[in-house]
Structure 1
């Protein structure tokens, strides 16, 4: 066989393999990638809440499944069209994450594979628009809070009264507010002196189900005993090594600090219990600029 014929055969084989991969194996029709200076955890949390700019009552994005902090699969409903989106998150460096969105039109996949390389059809424009919407959401969300760098610190010892609660991450603050009277009425009725700022200790965090169990805690004066109650419990804790971030912003989104600490721990091979403790240094009822509210967020280090 001459070299020319061999070259043609090899070229045909390459085209055949590429064609089979492109039309029958590749699991997406169009891909968009961008970088942003946010941690994978914060981006993941935003994806789970994302609704393509629509109001909550008009649900156009459904999350199918997810791998926390790494991948999210969703359906985006646009009129009669349904776009399947695979989002993947990969750290580029300490401050930057690469976000990749793979789009597929399952009803017209072959057609999209034919058209996408040659011009921006409706499907391509819808895909680009969705990514732009999400990236703008990330940028806008970041304006609502400030995070310090991660430092090594110690969770201070505490003597406190607490009640046990559970909620989703986004509902944590509202659940706390509704239950303040339960614990504060007990403290006031029994003339117990407060001894510090209220705080929350997370006892269970199910990332995939977006649910937490936590103790809502109020430091109190030490006594030999306290009047019995079936709602309010008491506890003492010792000082504990931890990673710490100072958070400024509305306490409804204080969990943004959790993701930064966990990302730092993973990057630096530090074992943590992934059970944040939040100390609230401002009274939200006093109002004011949310960005002036201060909280100290800790995640315990495991030896």
Structure 2
């Protein structure tokens, strides 16, 4: 009986010693991970900036089940997850386009701050991720056995950046461009927002405009009649300037208040050369170039009508960039159907290099991006 008392006392003393040891261990952690990613900076930034991409690379939980709100990119964007080992959420606090992102994370109820920076480096992107936060009592026990909280978190975020690099290489550089030939584009009603913007700021402005436009539809209980598209009024490379409209199809004519920046639009049925891009938007320039080359090779004549990009499948459909589908239409004068182009095969391209300087054109405006 006395032996049992001694054993119990030893267990109690050991438990107290462990509790004191764990309690005195540093619960704060601060880790910094740096990786050179073989993908252009703006593409890496946009991929990280949108939480819909995170489950493909964030190594937070092997069985992560994400939930996405209406806004998943830019300031105020967020997402949450549940997993077999932990759950949490992340929200974007501030964004500097193509440069930096600041986020707040709750990991099993414990706070952490994440700081991203993106810099050009010898043709690659230098990604720096700094994370500062705290861990609770139970994780401290695990951390004490594994070399400390910093060592555990370094492993998680190092693995995440490695996976991010591999995912970008696969998702961005696997794409397909098919010139479908002459097609008829049927008439459409739509609501639109129009802006004149620098070409450099166009992707950011498009995201903002599309979010505002969808909020307008939701607020006014207006049903949509298809996926969004962009109409180009002009695209002047020499001045780095473009005027375009972000549009959402509707079934019937709707006229908005005169002071509203959302207006009604309509285009009639027209013939166009159609091209389908399956893949990331970074390949759109190549798709436009192939469309123009087809028009020239088949001696077709463009009209003064607006060219458009129609986003048939995108991130909101739960697809990665390699599965996005964008249709391009360049209006042409009615003519006999040109020969069908050869079928295009899906390719995995090498990492895209910086665009080559283009020969200046004589005309002041270039109508197609």
Q: Normalising to structure 2: TM-score of the pair?
A: 0.41
Q: Normalising to structure 1: TM-score of the pair?
A: 0.49
